[in-house]
Amino acid sequence: MIHAIPDEIISIYKSIESARFEVYLVGGCVRGLLLQKAVKDWDLTTNASPDNILSLFPNGFYDNQFGTVGIPVTDSGQRAQLSQAPLSGAIQNDEKNIVEITTFRTEHGYSDKRRPDKVLWGKTINEDLSRRDFTINAIALKLNLIVVASGARQSNPEGIAESAFDETHNGSSFELIDPFNGQKDLESKIIRAVGDPKQRFKEDSLRLMRAIRFAAVLDFNIERETWQEIMNDASLITHISFERIRDELLKILASEKPYEGIILLQNAKLLEHIIPELLEGTGVSQVRPGRHHTNDVFTHNLLSLKFCPSKDPIVRLATLLHDIGKPKVVGTDQQGLVVFHNHEIVGAKMAYEICDRLRLSKKQKEKITTLIRWHMFTVDEHTTDAAIRRFIRRVRVENIKDMIDLRIGDRLGSGTKTAESWRLKLFKKRVEEQLTPGPFSINDLAVDGNDVMRVLNIKPGPRVGEILQKLFEEVDENLSLNNREHLLKRVKELS
């Protein structure tokens, strides 16, 4: 297990231990090591105070009330090492990662259901573990390092930052501190609250979503009493900021079980506080004779998410929301059959409001609304090249693959057995053809605004743009018309 721990983490650990403080690896990194999964974030806990830690790592930063010091670590390519550049509470470039070191602490009072009213430094590792959320995250790892240093490094005066790189941890051992039987729950694939679940979720109500996120990411089950309390306390999620809710939701959508994660949110009565618009599709039938839809709108949205081939949580969210406008426009045609005219337009507006509520970025909101607004594109062997180019411009080149992935999810989520029809395959081929050498735009016209002003002897103004737009529309229908002589003649005619 120790050999899976990066050298720079060992180096930080040794620095704290050498100063005669207790130190442990804790939380998600221990869970990852025990599950033999890749670890991205490394957290340590210690009885050293923040000031003690900063004295050992002058490049660290401490700007919170919870006893957490951040230590920047630089990945220099072949080997990672402690960064000597100080940070001001934030990562300053993509090459730096942050190792968090937190002083043992106890927490008291959670009046806002989000953060403790009072934080006191703890005295023991068991005290610290008892405040954590789930048993699988309440395991600490103590390293017992017996190090044999190479002669080359013994003479190196650089010290701690590099000394671990040429050391082998021969004879190293470790000890697991596991007062809540987290190892057993890992083996049984169980999410269980530490201590009394009635207390845990009232301390920080985001834990309601974190339980479901861990279940989706790890493919674990939630223990019965823990699950019951999640349902009992579901309304407490309203005390949590949408920024924190968003982060958990996107992690659920990025997991290997996004469909199951959303189902858990629904069953736990959390979804109604996060995206209540989704539930409006419950019981709204889409069934029409001869059509492939076999479920109500809500179930169809969920199944579309399940079958969407994209791994991007933003594309998965767009797929989950793609038909969210249908309940707002449901009606019947002359034959009395259900129809949803313009649901993609209404749905795009609703999705924008949902994304805004979830505090998604401008780029993420634009992507989701674009995918939903244009997901009803026509796939037909008679579609003209000009129509294909209009599709590319509407969707934008960078979103084309994502739109196809949404369409595949939509198709499979409707009950069809094949991911792509022959028409969709043909459509994809024709899109690729129009993308070579690149999509046609107004800048590709054989004339420009200067030509328009010269021919018509006019000054810059809206009229120039109107004429260029008209020329573009004509040429887009027949690219052979894009020659200078013809277009200059048309400029005169359009005047």
Q: For the chain, what is the domain count?
A: 4
One domain, residues 259 and 377? no
Question: 368 or 61: whose pLDDT is higher?
Answer: 368
Least confident of 173-177, 275-279, 304-308, 323-327: 173-177
The domain boundary residue, chosen from 212, 240, 274: 274
Give 377-426 pLDDT, tens digit per residue: 988 888 898 999 999 999 999 999 999 999 999 999 998 889 999 999 99
Assess if residue 227 is contained within a domain: yes
Give 281-302 pLDDT, tens digit per residue: 999 988 766 566 678 999 999 9
DSSP 88-146: SSS--STTEEEEEEEE-EEEE--TTSSS-SEEEE-SSHHHHHHTSSBGGG--EEEEE--
Contact 223, 190 (CB under 8 A): yes
Contact 5, 33 (CB under 8 A): yes
- Collapsed DSSP state (helix, strand, coil) of residue 284: coil
Nearest to 36 by CA among 10, 5, 76: 5
Instruction: Answer whether residue 332 shows pLDDT above 50.
Output: yes
Q: How many residues does the chain have?
A: 495
Which residues span the domain enclosing 484? 442-494
One domain, residues 57 and 169? yes
CATH number (domain holding residue 121)? 3.30.460.10
CATH number (domain holding residue 265)? 1.10.110.30
Least confident of 104-118, 151-165, 241-255, 347-361: 151-165
- What pLDDT was estimated at residue 338? 84
Q: Are strands 43-46 and 96-103 parallel, antiparallel or unpaired?
A: parallel
Give 447-488 pLDDT, tens digit per residue: 999 999 999 999 999 999 999 999 999 998 888 899 999 999
One domain, residues 338 and 427? yes
